[in-house]
Amino acid sequence: MKLNTILECDFSNKKALVRVDFNVPIKDGVVTDDTRIKAALPTLTYLLDKGAAVIVMSHFGRPKGKKNPEFSMAPIAKRFSELLAKEVLLAPDVIGPEVEMQVSKLKAGDVLLLENVRFYAEEEKNDPEFAKSLASFGDVYVNDAFGTAHRAHASTEGVAHYLPSYAGFLIEKEVKFMAPLLDSPEKPFVAIIGGSKVSSKISVLESLVRTCDTIVIGGGMAYTFLSVQGYSIGKSLVEEEYKDVAASFLAKAKEKGVSVILPVDHLCGAQFKEDTEAVAIDTTDIPADLIGMDIGKNTIALIVDALKSAKSVVWNGPMGVFEFDAFAEGTLTVAKALSESDAITVVGGGDSVAAINKFNLADKISHVSTGGGASLEFLEGKVLPGIKALEK
């Protein structure tokens, strides 16, 4: 997969229309986590240094296609301006005469942030006329919003039909680390897939089984796989309708010679509550009155051992209910093992990223993806419309 990148374009005296992902948490009118804004700064700074005027587009929240002050970009514009260390103008709207006037007055080095693109239903419908209106603001289009690249919206895919289009540094980095995992990963390749449900991860498993040497299955989804093998899972989560799918996957992995690591012991609780007592179960079978909440010490040892020889590792989904401190050990130990590995390590998916951040290990991972849904779909081998629009 080869993308057109911003290094290939002359931005001097051009207006660059840039899609970013500034969908950040806000409380009482203040941005509480500016990670996504910071992630876009290298691209935006580069464009400004190269003499461009920059028009920035993003969505925020779910205003459902209607103008709603609650979802205004105003608090984001303030934090964006502070991080960029220069004035960021906030447009009063997304399209229309007032915005056109503002854009016409922009000079090299100026930054204009449009209002929330999802104030218009045409955005999510990828309406051609709306995309044309957005495209009319720029001479070139830059997409650096990997988190929305799996959506064919007007600002992520539509505008690319009307302007020369390039990938920003963030999207370029995401593709650089993620694409080889699907095509030609360095071996041995270990995938650690967790989370609560088989239904949300089976496509990833079936994609990765083509290139993996070892697949670790943890989290709530593991109990469906254990159940189909005849183990007792107590009151643990099970998706009855996915038992056949789980059995089919295990058969496929065996046929391909892929090692599958499932929990061999557990940390359980009587209730799914933060204050429930943690009970260590040293067998694969779980007593009838308990819920599996985390992987046990023997399972952790199996995973750590598999990681020692790995050259490539992808992790998507926690090993247990890591939000509850008593059941965070499995996820924490996997995160630490990844941080100490010499392999190329890629972490994707909201909960896995949250775990890495919770344990302050992000700087020790080769790549922490900024896109939860997008990284999941990428690993499933799906075509991401926002990425395809940037291909050579």
- Among candidate residues 197, 297, 364, 388, the one labeled active-site is 197
State yes or no: cis peptide before 97, omega within 30 of 0: no
Own/partner long-range contacts of 388-391 (Cβ < 8 Å, ≥24 apart)? 388/157, 389/143, 389/156, 389/157, 389/160, 389/161, 389/165, 390/3, 390/4, 390/143, 390/160, 390/165, 390/166, 390/167, 390/171, 391/1, 391/2, 391/3, 391/4
Measured N-to-C along each axis, helices 329-339 and 297-308 cross at an angle, to the nearest 10 degrees, of 10
Residue 197 appears among annotated catalytic residues: yes
- The DSSP line for 324-377 is SGGG-HHHHHHHHHHHT-SSEEEE-SHHHHHHHHHTT-GGGSSEE-S-HHHHHH
CA max distance for the chain: 70
Q: State how far the Cα of 75 lies from the Cα of 391, in Å rounded to an integer.
A: 34
Residue 210 appears among annotated catalytic residues: no
Residue 62 appears among annotated catalytic residues: no
Q: How far is CA 35 from CA 171, 311, 317, 334, in A?
A: 15, 28, 20, 23
Residue 296 appears among annotated catalytic residues: no
Please, are residues 147 and 21 in contact by the beta-carbon 8 Å criterion?
A: yes
- Among candidate residues 14, 19, 36, 79, the one labeled active-site is 36
Token pair belonging to 212: 């993996």
Question: Which residues are designated catalytic?
Answer: 36, 197, 350, 373
